[in-house]
Amino acid sequence: MNDSLITGIDSHAHVFTRDLPLAPGRRYAPAYEATLERYRAMLASIGMSHGVLIQPSFLGFDNSYLLACLDAHPQQLRGVVMADPVNALGLIDDWHARGVVGIRANLIGTQLPDFTDPHWTSLLSRMVALDWHLEMQIDAGRLHLVAPALLASGVRIVIDHFGRFDPALGVGDPGFAYLILLGQTGRVWVKVSAGYRVSAQPANPEATFATSANAWSELLPAFGVDRLLWGTDWPHTQFEHVCNPRHALHDLYRLVTDESHRQAVLIDTPAELFHFS
């Protein structure tokens, strides 16, 4: 493969093996492996050339496997780690040299961090200097509690999975309305990925697509294609039975019918955000 030729970027995927130590207090851990080799084969099977590996929350702050994957394929892959703000500042330059481009905060079901704490403000300042982003998976209804501090820091903010609005409320979730307002800041990106995580009927593909389409119709005018991006969410943890990468890509093509918009969502926007270009 010509690693410099970008045919598509999968902006959200996880890799792990069964022998990796699991984080204490984890909510979930899969009983299978999603190895680097399987991931790269999956990318090739759907015509995607590049990928962004996101540290799974059940592995906590042990980013060793993710970093080894980046070391093995530095042109093809970028990474987003999980980090303890108390000691991350001493590691961040090494991470950056190895292809890490952001830090993940998975805040589903957890206490919200204080992003005005000195450890966080120092880390966020360094992230801004490196042109990194903070990726958040957060319930839409709590986004307003953390977004102001992050916007004040100047860091790029990436929101996972259509904004994680309440499936029972759909795009009527007030938290989603707040996310739409954040489009005006120019500092927030949204992943149009894993529609099943915001669907009231995740096992019903058409119902899930309809939910994604409703969200897309509001996200597109609010953010523009230069701040929207797509990911497979491979291996679809906890939703393995309702989706696969080929289906996810098919739904994207149904969702994003304009060819120039697809070029932006699949290549141009993630290439810039994740430092592929």
Residue 97 lies in a domain: yes
Residue 4 lies in a domain: no
Average pLDDT score over residue span 90-97: 97
At 89 the pLDDT is 95
Edge to edge, the sheet with strand 9-13 lists 9-13, 50-54, 77-82, 100-106, 133-137, 156-159, 188-191, 228-229
Residue 76 lies in a domain: yes
Name residue 191's beta-bridge partners.
Answer: 229
Residue 112 lies in a domain: yes
Distance CA 69, CA 76 (A): 10
What CATH number does residue 91 fall under?
A: 3.20.20.140
Residue 210 — very low, low, confident or very high, per pLDDT cuts 50/70/90?
A: very high
One DSSP character per residue, 113-124 reads: P-TTSHHHHHHH
At 150 the pLDDT is 98
At 27 the pLDDT is 78
Residue 229 — very low, low, confident or very high, per pLDDT cuts 50/70/90?
A: very high
- Is the pLDDT at 4 greater than 80? The verdict is no
Average pLDDT score over residue span 138-142: 98
Please state, as a whole number, how many other Cβ atoms lie within 10 Å of the Cβ of residue 62. 15
Distance CA 109, CA 139 (A): 8
- Is the pLDDT at 31 greater than 90? The verdict is no
Residue 139 lies in a domain: yes
Provide, rounded to the nearest whole percent, the portion of the chain with pLDDT above 70.
99
Residue 167 lies in a domain: yes
pTM: 0.96
Domains in the chain: how many in total? Answer: 1
pLDDT per residue as tens digits for the range 231-247: 999 999 999 999 999 99
Residue 2 lies in a domain: no
Q: Domain residues for 122? A: 9-273
**Which residue type is seen at 220?**
L
Residue 1 lies in a domain: no
At 1 the pLDDT is 40
At 2 the pLDDT is 45
